[in-house]
Chain A
Amino acid sequence: MHPRFQVRVQPECFDLGEECDRLRRHDASIGAIASFVGVVRDINDEVGVDSLELEHYPGMTEKVIEGIVEEARTRWSLNSALVIHRVGRLGPTDPIVLVICTSAHRAPAFESCAFIMDFLKTKAPFWKKESTPDGERWVEARESDANAARGWQGR
């Protein structure tokens, strides 16, 4: 992948402002920076969540997300993009995933950000296991996520 387009899978937390600054610096043709941060909630499907464990498939996970970013690049004119997805044990209010897209103008930045998240949710090999007061359970994939990804066909 081009160096201005990066994907990182890591246990460590990230700093949105720091990463935006890093992308913005040295590229004066960027006019728009759009971002998304996914966060762990303390409740899911009406059951309290104490913590969750994020598992991935080292090698394949990065490759799949890189493919999604490459797809976004073919659809929109982007200057740069960064995706960071955490793995390991996380708790409520912890950031899980970061997507930043930059472009000359806001429409490509906003849209590519949403596109990358919709496809990451349905294609990237991650699996969440929640610890609840009643025990551990694996999170199930949602139909709404599949619909969101399908919604990009023909757009």
Chain B
Amino acid sequence: MNSKKDIAVIFLCWLSGIVIIFVMMFLTGYLAMKGWNALNFKLIFGSTNPLSALLFKKQVFDGLFPSIIGTLLLIICSVGFAVPLGLITGIYMAEYANNFIKIMFGLFFDILASIPSILIGLFGFSLAVFLHKHVSENIYPCLLISCLSLGLLILPYIIRTTQISLESLSLETRVTALSLGATKLQNLYHILLPRSFSGIMSGVILAIGRCAEDTAVIMLTGVVASAGIPKSLFSKFEALPFYIYYISSQYTSPEELANGYGASIILLTICAFLFVFAFVIQKSLHYRALYCA
């Protein structure tokens, strides 16, 4: 028989659960309701023909296409910078480091992971100024600096997921090849990396999600409101989250506001899709660990 206190606690816990779910449904429902009308080709391609915009023949001036391309380029370049470095560092931390180095380096990576994103943007900005003054007059905040800063932002996540997925392999898996005479590199390449690939992959996908949604870093390092498709690594660019921020403060008509809602839906869908994808990959890892040798 539940006492009054028990009933009160159960009621409060259910209440908090229902509040959280309600808030989430309210937010997504509101966004969908307001932005549903704006979701069409005109939102993305403006008044340009979609096919000629996709083949980069014509510029798109009043659509989201440059922002989407900008975000895509950001993701590719920053992941290309951060994943090799993070992978190698994670492998070092899991396989080669002694205990003292693990604790020391782990502390540094924790600090890096908890730095606010605006500070990383500030670092990128000061890096651009430093290069401008001391290396070349032509370097301004640009795509390259944003990609480096975003790469720094996601580096600790990749290191952490690589280290954890390598360390969570069972002891037998990790030492059997070594006991048969394989070197550490052979063990890594043939046994460990294939087995922990799903964990690393899901970490990379989560890092991609983080890249796509971060605004503070790119705000200080080179994103602008309208720049078209970036012609080189040293040019300014547009990005989807910055477009949403810009519209929220500078919209001049209900259509532009509806465009902002449409952009929010697109960004939310991209992030949700990446998240579900990472989750599915992790589930397949679990399945393989349980049911395959």
Q: Do A and B bind? A: no
Which A positions have Cβ atoms within 8 angstroms of B?
none
B residues bordering A, Cβ < 8 Å? none
